[in-house]
Structure 1
Amino acid sequence: MQFADRLKPLQFNVFADMDRAKSEVRATGMTVIDLSLGSSDLPTEPFILEAIAKSLNDPHTHGYSLFGSTLDFREAVAAWIKQRFSLTIDPETEVLPLIGSQEGTAHLPLAILNPNDFALLQDPGYPSHYGGIHLAGGRVYGMPLLAGNNFLPVFADIPAAVLSQAKMMVLSYPHNPTTATATLEFLKSAVQFCQEHNLVLVHDFPYLDLIFDGSTPPSILQADRDRGVSIEFFTMSKSYNMGGFRVGFAVGNRELIQALRQVKAAVDFNQYQGIMRGAIEALASDRASIDRVVSAFQERRDAMIDSLKAIGWAIPTPKATMYLWAKLPDRHAHDSVKFCLDLISSTGIALSPGKGFGQHGEGYVRFALVHPPEILREAAKKIGTFLQLQK
């Protein structure tokens, strides 16, 4: 049996290797503490679940959900954008519901790239961004994110030959996996760069609420107020613990929204309308539920930072996200995949190897803080024993 060449770049997947390793460890009876996936363990708020539950008995929600039937949700998004960022958007032409933001970031390249066009992506970056480019037949130029540059790309370093063939740039701040944040001034510089080089600017924005200093990270829509080149992706998964419900949305340039809508129409309908009713309730709510999420992850961050410091592994304290981005001890820095495979087989602790996020992620691992503090402390102790045995 022969398969399409577009699958070839997707064959190397260190996360699939980690999943196999986790299954093998569980099969031995060892307990696995999985810190490799950024899937929140916190529950969805009852008021959201109640809105979804009430919809089950409404037969009007049982059919296909086409674009026209999502107007209430799109209006709720527009009101939320107005409240959060003081921006007025058109719910008819500048908002598109999505089955999670990953649907949007994976499908948008199909609307923008011709075969062999370049996309400028963050390296390290979220793997789904890479997958969407490969499926569209595009080529990836990884913009290095280095600690010395605060994990921000240096646009002046992008080769002219690449820029001449590039059609889009993808950014995401607060950033997965590095936890870095970006200022409004940086985002404005990105908008200007994309305007000068005729690039679509994509901003993936799942962690806008998971920031620990009380501020709100800037939106790309604030940097590109007339939405000339930009589109931004949002999800309900992180702020509202709705990952399994698969609900997100895109906001931005109306031509980009229309192009993505065309791709979406060929692939799927929208999710169940009852889920959208739950999302509407979430978007219209106050910040109390979000504050509980932020407080929980801040407590976990502090517990894990302190516990790792106690075993001799010092990690900078992140300002945002649900992760730690940890530089490996020197003796392990050359092979993050081997480190993670050895760690889980020895201790049952699963981390994400930095190499899985791109070439410049090598030498790091990512901790997902998706367990209560007491379990994180237990994991740190086991890691400490592992590191002592490796000396």
Structure 2
Amino acid sequence: MDSDFHSIRRLPPYVFAEVNKLKAAARANGRDVIDLGMGNPDSPTPKHIVDKLIEAVQNPRAHRYSMSKGVPGLRKAIAGYYERRFNVPLDPETEVVATLGSKEGLANLANAITSPGDTIMVPNPSYPIHAFGFMMAGASIRHLPTTEGTDFMHMLERAAKHSVPAPTALIVNYPSNPTAEVRGLDFYADVVDFCRKRNIWILSDLAYSEIYFDDNPPPSILQVPGAMDIAVEFGSLSKTYSMPGWRMGFAVGNKKLINALTRIKSYLDYGAFTPIQVAATAALNGPQDCVDEIRAMYKQRRDVMIQSFAQAGWDIPSPPATMFAWAPIPDRFKHLGSLEFSKRLLLEADVAVAPGVGFGEYGDGHVRLALVENPQRVRQAARSIKAFLSRDDVADAAYKPVLQAAAQ
């Protein structure tokens, strides 16, 4: 049984699975569910990237084993991106490694650098792999509350002071999934200074570096002087180029951390399919107007969602970045918590969202909404939500078939 396995025992039940099961049951019963739960980009990958994949896949030699750390051309393209975007020079041989998406890289680096019982500081709420990647590697997680009004540096100092053993690493993620919060270089400078003095590694997740909606592109922690001494940063092509299923990401930064990740990956995989790496190289080196178009698409969807949901009676802060909105649960439903509210929204409004508790206990007062539906569908969701919010009672009987199917 699963409970016999140590690593599995350390993982809590997957919160999102409950909503996903209800969603599948609702669709099986013919309901038109608008899915704002999973951050799964729906726009096509730009044509020139797909064309390069098709060209590369026709080369018989491309079907052999690839390189675990990434083909040289891709690693050079990643280094070139950091030089152009952040003015950060990188050695493609020692400071860059290609990964199977950023999630794989984070989990494998956690496994590479963690000893049982190590203390890792992780924001809460945060993307699940940030905590669970280290948890599966045997670490103890020290959660840093990042709810509105909290002082991150105060929480960091408090956690470092009271952790036994002293913390090994810190995760940072800005623009944040799920909260969409952004931070500037002054914040990173304070974090780097703090961690350098205490010999704490920093793992920065910058997956949403290109999905921003104002005139200030999110910075990289590696822009801070001295950051390369202790920090590694993860990026992804999934959202930037609408390539989620391609599973192409990277890690860059501190040579010791990159070497650790490269070495452990050499035992676990042969790298992404070579044509995918060639196409990823074309994405990074090619025309970038497609990135502007993808960013504009998410901005339009954000604006439509914020406006239409407000008209429906649900005021949601406008996210400055990412493909998500972090929505406070309406006052009338706060007592339910995020999981039960998400279920009610699905069953009574045919709208699926991600319960905030799935990102950590401090996220339980919110739900995450993904900008993965077109404006028409977003407005349709708003109309359904308006009807849901205006009801005086619930209509559980009408959804009895859905509840029964989900229970099976």
Identify the TM-score tier after normalising by the shorter chain: over 0.9
| Counterpart for residue 33 of structure 1 | 34
Deviates more, 1:13-22 or 1:295-304: 13-22
Root-mean-square deviation (CA, aligned residues, Å) is: 1.6
| Counterpart for residue 366 of structure 2 | 364
- Aligned positions, number: 391
Question: What is the rounded CA distance, in whole Å, between the counterparts of 1:152 and 1:168 in structure 2?
Answer: 15
Question: What is the rounded CA distance, in whole Å, between the counterparts of 1:159 and 1:177 in structure 2?
Answer: 24
1:107 is paired with a residue whose SS is helix
| Counterpart for residue 401 of structure 2 | none
Give, in angstroms, the shift of residue 264 of structure 1.
1.0
Give, in angstroms, the shift of residue 113 of structure 1.
1.5
Give, in angstroms, the shift of residue 8 of structure 1.
1.6
Question: What is the rounded CA distance, in whole Å, between the counterparts of 1:327 and 1:38 in structure 2?
Answer: 18
| Counterpart for residue 382 of structure 2 | 380
Deviates more, 1:207-216 or 1:249-258: 207-216
| Counterpart for residue 211 of structure 1 | 212
Give, in angstroms, the shift of residue 153 of structure 1.
7.0
Q: 1:150 to 1:194 in 2, by over 3 A?
A: closer
TM-score by length of 1: 0.96
2:195 is paired with a residue whose SS is helix
| Counterpart for residue 346 of structure 1 | 348
Question: What is the rounded CA distance, in whole Å, between the counterparts of 1:217 and 1:265 in structure 2?
Answer: 32
Structure 2: tracts of 5 or more residues without a match: 394-408
Give, in angstroms, the shift of residue 151 of structure 1.
7.5
Cα deviation per residue 1:310-347 (whole Å; 9 max; x = unaligned)?
01211221111111101111232231100001111122
| Counterpart for residue 167 of structure 1 | 168
Cα deviation per residue 1:144-172 (whole Å; 9 max; x = unaligned)?
01211487873233252316431110011
Alignment of 1:1-391 (within 5 A): 1=1, 3-67=4-68, 70-149=71-150, 154-158=155-159, 160-162=161-163, 164-225=165-226, 227-334=228-335, 335-390=337-392
Give, in angstroms, the shift of residue 69 of structure 1.
6.4
Cα deviation per residue 1:66-116 (whole Å; 9 max; x = unaligned)?
247611111111111111111211000000010000001111111221111
Task: In structure 1, give the amino acid aligned to 2:57.
Answer: L
Task: In structure 1, give the amino acid aligned to 2:103.
Answer: Q
1:382 is paired with a residue whose SS is helix
Question: What is the rounded CA distance, in whole Å, between the counterparts of 2:281 and 2:154 in structure 1?
Answer: 35
Deviates more, 1:217-226 or 1:90-99: 217-226
Structure 1: tracts of 5 or more residues without a match: none
Task: In structure 1, give the amino acid aligned to 2:9.
Answer: K
Cα deviation per residue 1:18-49 (whole Å; 9 max; x = unaligned)?
11111111111101111001111011000000
Q: 1:101 to 1:146 in 2, by over 3 A?
A: same
2:316 is paired with a residue whose SS is coil
Give, in angstroms, the shift of residue 234 of structure 1.
0.5
Q: 1:41 to 1:161 in 2, by over 3 A?
A: same
Deviates more, 1:218-227 or 1:39-48: 218-227
Give, in angstroms, the shift of residue 286 of structure 1.
3.2
Task: In structure 2, give the amino acid aligned to 1:381.
Answer: R
1:38 is paired with a residue whose SS is coil
Question: What is the rounded CA distance, in whole Å, between the counterparts of 2:237 and 2:70 in structure 1?
Answer: 19
Cα deviation per residue 1:290-318 (whole Å; 9 max; x = unaligned)?
11011101000000000111012112211
Question: What is the rounded CA distance, in whole Å, between the counterparts of 2:15 and 2:100 in structure 1?
Answer: 25
Q: Which runs of 4+ in 1 moved over 3 A?
A: 149-154
Question: What is the rounded CA distance, in whole Å, between the counterparts of 2:149 and 2:82 in structure 1?
Answer: 33
Deviates more, 1:104-113 or 1:29-38: 104-113
Q: 1:328 to 1:242 in 2, by over 3 A?
A: same
Give, in angstroms, the shift of residue 14 of structure 1.
0.8
